[in-house]
Amino acid sequence: ALRCYTTGLNYAHSAAATPEVRALHATLLVNRAAVQLARKNYRKAIRDCRGALRFDGDNLKAHYRAAQALLKLKRYDEAHVHAEAAHALVQASENSKNKALAKCRRGIARGIQQRDAERAAAAKKEAAKNAMMQEIQAGCAARGGIRMGPCLMRLGMEPRSVRPKVFGVVGGSGGSGGGQVANCAMAWPVMLLYEEHAQHDFVQQVADDTCLRDLLEMVLPEKDGRGGGTPPWDEDQKYVCSNVELFFETRCVPAFPNDGTPWPTDFPVQTEAQASTGRLREWVQVPLGLTLLDVLTFPEYVVPQVVTFHVVPKSGSFHTEFLRRNKGKLRKLFTQAE
């Protein structure tokens, strides 16, 4: 049938454009559109129906079949236009009932309703993400001008688990220094990396006033005399709070704008171009007597979404190798006691 209709159209193209030939064009195109619909070639069906309407603008079948194809493609607004045009033609005819067209119109109405509901839900979700990021941005400004940037890598975790949380009331804008805060505090996701063993620990929420020693005592408790208390991969039992040093890396990601521009809501990952811009990285050894907030507010630190520390044992060859590898790029913070 498809081949026959196409052959007929080729003959019609070569004929003089009389009213009869124009009507023949419309009929052949509408019939070929029916074949395309049966073959699920919906875009070709739409093209044939619109071609038929150029020859006969009041062709009921052309409007109806275009509406059917557009409905299948979920192009509801266009489908609605053709379905209503077909409905108007049916209403103007003697036979004002067309069950197939009525079914198509109901399908389009349901599709529009579902699409609008999905759009409303997506808009609500996006608004919630924007509000969350504005709260984080305002909280960072209020807690001493904490800077954030993109992730270093894809973490493969639920996005909500790698976002800082703001507790309290944050008012004003989320720009630099623009938030007025009452009883505000923040909790951050923290990653502890054990490069020597290619292992890590992830703590979803750590309050920013937490002492780093308390954090390490929770994650790396002292051995209990029976070999317990240390991670199973730590055969030499070196990774305990009293025998490790903590380092973080500055300038490892570019900071989000600090001029009041809203930060991105999707927590982007650092691109290869950003990673190869030649920024001088620096390792900072942080005393365990400092708090997480002391690290977050370090002037040159940009938080890569998750606060990341490298844990290095004081004893063993890896400590020597770590210092050698980063010679000239290491500095140390000091507590007031030091």
pLDDT of residue 253: 86
pLDDT band with cut points at 50, 70 and 90 for residue 178: very low
Q: pTM of this prediction?
A: 0.70
Q: Are strands 179-194 and 165-172 parallel, antiparallel or unpaired?
A: antiparallel
pLDDT of residue 70: 97
Q: Which of these, 185, 231, 211, lies nearest to 294 by C-alpha position?
A: 211
Number of residues assigned to the chain: 338
Q: Residue 188 gets which letter from DSSP?
A: E
The angle that helices 60-72 and 76-92 make with each other, rounded to 10 degrees, is 150
Q: What's the pLDDT tens digit per position in 202-245? A: 999 999 999 999 999 999 988 765 555 678 888 888 899 999 99
The contacts of residue 176 (CB under 8 Å, 6+ apart) are 141, 145, 258, 259, 260
Record the tokens describing residue 37, joined without a space. Answer: 């619909």
Q: What's the pLDDT tens digit per position in 67-120? A: 999 999 999 999 999 999 999 999 887 666 789 999 999 999 999 999 999 999
CA distances from 219 to 106, 192, 222, 235, 291 (A): 60, 9, 10, 16, 16
Q: Residue 172 gets which letter from DSSP?
A: E
pLDDT of residue 65: 97
CA-based R_g, the chain, Å: 33
